[in-house]
Structure 1
Amino acid sequence: MKFFETKHYFESSWEAVTLACWRKYPNDKTPHVKHVEILSREVDSETGILKTERLIMVSQKMPRILQRIFGADDCTYALEYSEVDPKQKTMVLKSVNLTFQNLMVISEKIDYRLNPTNLNQTQFTQSATLNAEGLMSRFASLVEEHSLKVFINNAKVGMLGFEQVLEKILSEQKAQATL
């Protein structure tokens, strides 16, 4: 089992950051994310929490040996569940791969929240576990190592894409404020 965690502070309002999260795809930094489909969306009438379920289609090259062994193609799917609490200023996204779950489970959690020590910042925390438990231990370790490298790279380019979208939103907000 492999673990990943990173934290980042955006020098932007929680509202702008969470809007950027919804508008993140497509962007030119993450071309591997091909499609995002909203499966369900509802607002809890008692709490005001927005709950959304999305299907994410990703196209990423797999090692040839895995393609040969498992007859895999490059298209994979993940299910994402999110909750946005506008009162507490939190947004939590949890995702898990649907493709190849019998070989490896990749669980990711992303948390956006107002920084309690600096209300002009939004705290971003991303964590993931990668578990190839069903495979022979040495092979599982190799698959986990490769998958972790891919995940870390995707997290880096994902952050670049996110920041690009956030900058666009901030520019739009600045332009609207001058009207």
Structure 2
Amino acid sequence: MVKVYQHTFNYDHPWSLVTVAYWLRYPNPFASHVLSTDVIERTVDPTTGVLHTTRLILKRGLVPRWAQGLMKSNEAYILEESDIDPQTGTMVSVTRNITQKRVAYIEETQTLRRHPDDPERTQVKLEARFLSNLGWGLTSKIEAFCQRRFAKSSTRSRLGMSYILERLRETSKFPAAPWRPAPASSL
């Protein structure tokens, strides 16, 4: 049986800023488990203007004592695919682990959209699915563990995003001076 976690919340920031923060969310003090992020592909559909990005993320996690013999490593590679549609004000990001899948497969979908009632806010719908094919009577225990762990870590993820959003807001209050060429030398 697949376990599912769902949560909807808002950021008190406009969609354009939240989507920028999404790309800049690592590193932050709430995500020390994220070791690296690499862009694999980034394209823009010339007819729709949709930006498609594929990233590879390396994360380190804690393995419960009862599962330590099941996994070779506490690191996992995550594939993240996202589409940003500036016309509709929607970003959909799907992440899934590509390692450790036998023990637990986790797929997370985040949909960020302009808030329908307030353009200064962003609405986020988060859904995650957890599936284990391990068997041996451990399947439901692993899926339940993943669901509990994900619910706890999603709070830290929102704190990390809020941290990045505040840094972005601080820097946007004081725009950089316009670029000017250096004065010509008077030699």
TM-score with structure 2 length normalisation? 0.89
| 2:158 aligned partner | 159
Residue matched to 1:84:
84
Residue-pair matches, total: 177
Cα deviation code 1:19-53 (max 9, x no counterpart): 11010001011101111110100111111110000
Please show how residues 140-155 of structure 1 align to structure 2 within 5 Å.
Answer: 140-155=139-154
Give structure 1 stretches of 5+ with no counterpart.
none
Q: Secondary structure at the match of 2:175?
A: helix
Q: For the Cα contact (< 8 Å) 2:104–2:131, is it kept in 1?
A: yes
CA displacement 1:87-120 (0-9 Å, x = unmatched) = 1111110011111212321110001100112222
Contact 1:30 1:161 survives alignment (8 Å): yes
Contact 1:80 1:96 in 2 (8 A): yes
Larger Rg: 2
Moved over 3 A (4+): none
Q: Is the 1:84–1:91 Cα contact (8 Å) retained in structure 2?
A: yes
**Counterpart of 1:151 in structure 2: which amino acid?**
F
Change (3 A) 1:15 1:137: same
Residues 89-100 of structure 1 aligned to structure 2 (within 5 Å): 89-100=89-100
Determine if contact 2:11/2:123 at 8 Å carries over to the other structure: yes
More helix by share: 1
Question: Partners of 1:125 and 1:160 in 2: how far apart?
Answer: 16
Identity of matched residues, % = 29
Q: Structure 1 residue 178: deviation in Å?
A: 10
CA distance in 1, matches of 2:61, 2:102: 19
Encode CA deviations 1:56-93: one digit per residue, 9 max, x unaligned: 1000111233221x242111111010000111111110
Q: How big is the alpha-carbon RMSD for the aligned residues of Structure 1 and Structure 2?
A: 1.7
CA contact (8 A) 1:17 1:166 kept: yes
Q: Distance in 2 between matches of 1:152 and 1:177?
A: 39
